[in-house]
Amino acid sequence: MEYHTMLYINTIARCANLYHDEALQSAGLSSYQSAYIPIICTHPGITQDQIARQLHVNRSSVTRQLTSLEENGFVIRRRSTDDRRAVEVYPTDKAQAVLPAVREARRKWRSLLLEDVTDAEREALDHLLARLADRAVSLV
């Protein structure tokens, strides 16, 4: 049987998105939008370009998600005073308030997913996935 690493990784990622969509629905966030909240709350004033690099997504995707987050009162975008081409993103009180729910949804998903995995297996898995992620980043 051929081993399909990417199929497994994609399945886990898609299931995580479904889980987060449901877990954060009452907060008014999608799984894709929820990825932005911790970054923006931790780094107020981060630029859209920095978010794109950190999440490894296209700038157009960042713009789309931030537009939705701004329309729903989670973020404020401002032109940078240092670089007029850059757009800085700031969390609102609403984003700060939902941050614990986002973190809890992530923690709970990881806990449920790894429920039957030993500590040693978790450590090995994290190590291997970190290596794969580093390699993937170096290829693009």
Per residue in 106-121, pLDDT (tens digit) is 999 999 999 999 999 9
| Chain centre distance of CA 105 | 12
Structural domains of the chain, ranges and CATH numbers in brackets: 5-139 (1.10.10.10)
pTM value is 0.87
Average pLDDT across the chain, whole number: 95
Task: Say which residue the tokens 């240092």 belong to.
Answer: 82
Length of the chain: 140
Give yes or no for residue 3 having a pLDDT over 60: yes
pLDDT of residue 82: 87
CB 66 within 8 A of CB 36: yes
pLDDT tens per residue, range 30-60: 999 999 999 999 999 999 999 999 999 999 9
- List 47's β-bridge partners, or say none: 88
Confidence grade of residue 83 (pLDDT, cut at 50, 70, 90) = confident
